[in-house]
Amino acid sequence: MARAFGYAVTVLLLAGAAWAADPIERILARVDGQAILLSDLRVARALGLGGVRTDDEEIVALRRLVDRQLVLIEVLRIQPVEPDAAAVARVAQGLTLLAGGAARLAGILTAAGLPSGYVQRLAREQVWTEVYARQRFGEDASGGARASWVRDLRRRGTVACRLPGC
């Protein structure tokens, strides 16, 4: 009886170790109370979201997602109007192409447990951010002034990361 119990405990421990090696989901960071999940990182890599590239190391990708979230929080603080539907559709189409097409995008979203409407939300957020950046920085919307502003957002915001250097 004790031997059977010992085998059962060993099997459970080994199974737990196998599951722990490949987490389904976990919180990687919190930005002003909003979680950035492992699935967010995976989707960002697949879609090039927030400047994240597929070959980025996890810490680099997470840092870019944190910056994206800080910018989005600032943009939403001013309560922007609903963006132009055509602009959102263009961005959504671009995200679909970056993912490798509609079928591959559907697979990415399904694997991450996200609804198909998630891409529209991402596209709307990107349009809001681009409009805000053009209004705030003019011609320097992707240059030094914006980088300085993002660094300031990091100083003012509350960022907690599970990875050092984030």
- Ordered by start, the domain boundaries in the chain are 25-161
Q: Which two tokens stand for residue 11?
A: 């099997």
Residues 6 or more apart from 159 whose CB is under 8 A from it?
29, 30, 31, 32, 66, 70, 166
Q: Which helix (H) or strand (E) holds 35?
A: strand 34-37
Which of these, 44, 74, 77, 78, lies nearest to 61 by C-alpha position? 44
pLDDT of residue 17: 45
Q: What is the DSSP letter of 53?
A: -
More confident residue, 6 or 85: 85
Least confident of 9-13, 23-27, 98-102, 112-116: 9-13
The domain defined by 25-161 carries CATH number 3.30.559.10? no
Is residue 119 very low, low, confident or very high in pLDDT (cuts 50, 70, 90)?
very high
Measure CA of the first residue to CA of the last residue in the chain; give whole Å: 50
Is residue 19 very low, low, confident or very high in pLDDT (cuts 50, 70, 90)? very low
Q: Is 125 exposed, middle or buried (0-12, 13-18, 19+ CB in 10 A)?
A: buried
Q: How far apart are CA 48 and CA 64, in angstroms?
A: 11
